[in-house]
């Protein structure tokens, strides 16, 4: 389908305004102007930039990651952090305790001995009640000197860096932000530390010394989510932008357990003429989630939504492109865990230039994927159908 060079913005903005008036949210995310955003379309480029940024740090490096492995990538990561700490940079790392359960304690003990300030997130304890055991810090974020931030879905591990065996490699992406939005990420990092540690982070004021160097054209809204919120900000951001779409929706999610609200939003978009394309995994590191995701295929395909499955790698990217101009990208999946039980961070990026880069990259992934048809889906066996129904009963917990 040939797209016009510039999609009409007026229709999308009018729909967005009507939706926000109807929802009447108590607060709206701040849109930070004049940011420069750079896309890293694979893990190799992302890690090359991350390690160079850590080496260039002069004041502080703030990091928050779900998984950090003790492999080649994790070893380089530890070396860069230690080197930064040795030259006087304040290095602070928040890591998810459960996400890093397979990483030996000696890895983090060595980092601490090298001068890195550590905070394991949500060590199992009854202090917060039984329900808190299932909470995860799923964010992936690095902030350098308060002026540069790197985000996305990439964890610190070989399978994300393209260094593992080919059948175990993850298809993911990341991006960087320079500009006014970085200060909100610094504030969010401090809030997470305070929430988990119950005391303020011992770090002085951290501001970009030369903000004029980073001026760009992208507007950015940051959407942080967590189980401490009464309503899921992450899900609401997806819903609002799906409802605001006028021409095209491209959605990539490795773990697809969207729930009825997202399903209804996608079907409504398709009924009003939006071309909706989903890129989902053909194989997954969490097979039960893939099984649940496929249970939605029949409804979506009957509603005119196109579904593709990526086969060459394990899909791990999380991105939604709205009308070629607005991109939702970050750590959150289209699943109940990201909506309600994980701490997540997504960026909503208003930039036609960045949107064009995303679309060019995704078109290559769609072209390399297998399109699922209703006929294909209906051919699945009785055993598969039964398993889908059984696993769907527990979808909220996956």
Cβ–Cβ < 8 Å for 280, 253: yes
- Residue 138 annotated to the active site: yes
CA 174/CA 151 separation, integer angstroms = 6
CA 341/CA 122 separation, integer angstroms = 12
Place of tokens 């769609």: 366
Please tell me which residue in 137, 145, 158, 365 is annotated as part of the active site: 145
What phi and psi values does residue 384 have, to the nearest 5 degrees?
-60, -45
- Residue 145 annotated to the active site: yes
- Residue 335 annotated to the active site: no
Please tell me which residue in 42, 318, 340, 365 is annotated as part of the active site: 318
* Closest by CA position to 288, among listed 321, 315, 257: 257
Please tell me which residue in 96, 135, 137, 138 is annotated as part of the active site: 138
CA 326/CA 322 separation, integer angstroms = 5
Cβ partners under 8 Å of residue 352, min gap 6: 6, 324, 325
- Residue 140 annotated to the active site: yes
- Residue 59 annotated to the active site: no
Please tell me which residue in 42, 96, 158, 323 is annotated as part of the active site: 323
Please tell me which residue in 42, 135, 158, 316 is annotated as part of the active site: 316
Which residues are known to be catalytic?
138, 140, 145, 316, 318, 323
């Amino acid at each position: 389908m040939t797209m016009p060079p510039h999609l009409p913005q007026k229709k999308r903005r009018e729909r967005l305004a009507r939706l926000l008036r109807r929802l009447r949210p108590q607060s709206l995310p701040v849109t930070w102007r004049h940011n420069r955003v750079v896309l890293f379309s694979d893990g190799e480029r992302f890690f090359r930039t991350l390690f160079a940024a850590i080496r260039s740090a002069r004041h502080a490096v703030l990091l928050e990651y779900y998984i950090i492995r003790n492999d080649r990538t994790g070893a380089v990561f530890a070396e860069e952090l230690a080197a930064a700490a040795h030259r006087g940079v304040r290095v602070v790392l928040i890591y998810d305790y459960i996400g890093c359960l397979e990483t030996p304690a000696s890895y983090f003990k060595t980092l601490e001995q090298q001068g890195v300030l550590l905070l394991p997130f949500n060590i199992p304890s009854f202090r917060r009640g039984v329900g808190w055991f299932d909470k995860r810090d799923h964010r992936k974020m690095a902030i350098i000197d308060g002026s540069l931030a790197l985000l996305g879905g990439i964890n610190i591990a070989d399978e994300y860096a393209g260094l593992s065996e080919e059948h175990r490699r993850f298809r993911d992406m990341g991006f960087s932000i320079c500009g006014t939005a970085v200060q909100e990420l610094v504030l969010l990092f401090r809030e997470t530390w305070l929430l988990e540690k119950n005391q303020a982070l011992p770090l002085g004021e951290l501001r970009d010394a030369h903000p004029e160097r980073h001026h760009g054209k992208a507007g950015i809204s940051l959407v942080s989510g967590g189980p401490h919120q009464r309503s899921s900000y992450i899900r609401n951001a997806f819903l609002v932008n799906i409802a605001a779409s006028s021409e095209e929706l491209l959605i990539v999610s490795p773990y697809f357990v969207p729930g009825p609200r997202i399903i209804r939003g996608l079907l409504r978009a398709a009924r009003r003429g939006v071309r909706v394309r989903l890129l989902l995994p053909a194989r997954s590191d969490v097979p039960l989630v893939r099984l649940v995701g496929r249970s939605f295929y029949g409804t979506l395909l009957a509603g005119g939504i196109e579904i593709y499955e990526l086969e060459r790698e394990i899909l791990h990217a999380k991105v939604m492109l709205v009308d070629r101009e607005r991109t939702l990208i970050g750590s959150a999946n289209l699943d109940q865990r990201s909506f309600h039980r994980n701490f997540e961070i997504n960026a909503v990026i208003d930039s036609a230039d960045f949107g064009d880069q995303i679309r060019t990259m995704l078109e290559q992934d769609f072209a390399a994927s297998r399109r699922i048809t209703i006929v294909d889906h209906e051919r699945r066996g009785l055993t598969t159908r039964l398993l889908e129904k059984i696993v769907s009963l527990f979808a909220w917990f996956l």
